[in-house]
Amino acid sequence: MADPAAPVRQLRGKPLTDFLKRVQRADVDLVFVLQDMQDPVNVGSAFRIADACGVRRMILTGITTCPPHALIKKVGRGRERRVPWEYTQDAAEAVESLRRDGYRVTAVEITAAALPYDAASYGERVALVVGHEDHGVTNRTLAACDQTVFLPMHGKGASLNVHVGLGIVAYHVLSAAGRLP
């Protein structure tokens, strides 16, 4: 047990690196699909979340703003150089390809069939799909997904910012797989 009289300080440098090495790592193959995400702040944030979650690759589709872009670089703190990414025009085709490769594809979107994000099954090969800031994931892409999940809202708003929702679901997937303490 920590000494309650000892000052609490942020870890930096080697102590931080050593601490992070102790985090349990489950083997989850996680992929993000960004469909038509126009705001470079959201895209940069998604790259930063992807790096933090150990995402194997990101697939940017449609009108999603792609690197190089100054705001993606600034907000993502350069993670677009670290996280493998690719661009393809059609999100539904990308989803179909992921399904053929054995991924369970989950759209983070409010639909009549959506499950609360913490009640869904994800598996060990997971692709999370998020959509346009205003219009969400298209019906064509939703039809190609295995399931949809939503984040219950307890306030007056109907949704969170798209990258925030992505981060919550991604961390839940990792936590459920035993990757997080």
Instruction: Determine the average pLDDT of the residues in 58-67.
Output: 98
pLDDT in tens, 1-12: 567 776 888 999
- Does any domain span residue 7? no
Which residues have CB under 8 Å from 116's CB, separation 6+?
A: 149, 150, 151, 152
Q: What confidence score (pLDDT) does residue 35 get?
A: 98
- Does any domain span residue 141? yes
- Does any domain span residue 127? yes
Backbone angles phi, psi at 32, to 5 degrees: -110, 140
Burial 98-135 (b: 16+ CB within 10 A, else e): beeeebbbbbbbebeebeebeebebeebbbbbbbbbee
- Does any domain span residue 4? no
pLDDT of 66 strictly over 90: yes
* Percent of the chain whose pLDDT exceeds 70: 94
Name the pairing type of β-strands 85-88 and 125-130. Answer: unpaired
- Does any domain span residue 14? no
- Overall domain count for the chain: 1
pLDDT in tens, 16-44: 888 888 876 667 999 999 999 999 999 99
Which residues have CB under 8 Å from 110's CB, separation 6+?
A: 136, 148, 150, 158, 159
pLDDT of 76 strictly over 80: yes
CATH for 55:
3.40.1280.10
According to DSSP, residue 15 is labeled H
- Does any domain span residue 20? no
- Does any domain span residue 167? yes
pLDDT in tens, 130-174: 999 999 999 999 999 999 999 999 999 888 999 999 999 999 999
Q: Which domain does 76 fall in, by range?
A: 26-176
Residue tagged 């493998």 (tokens): 84
Average pLDDT, the chain: 93
- Does any domain span residue 47? yes
Q: What confidence score (pLDDT) does residue 43 get?
A: 98
What is the sign of the dihedral through the CA atoms of 138, 46, 108 and 150? negative
Q: What confidence score (pLDDT) does residue 180 get?
A: 54
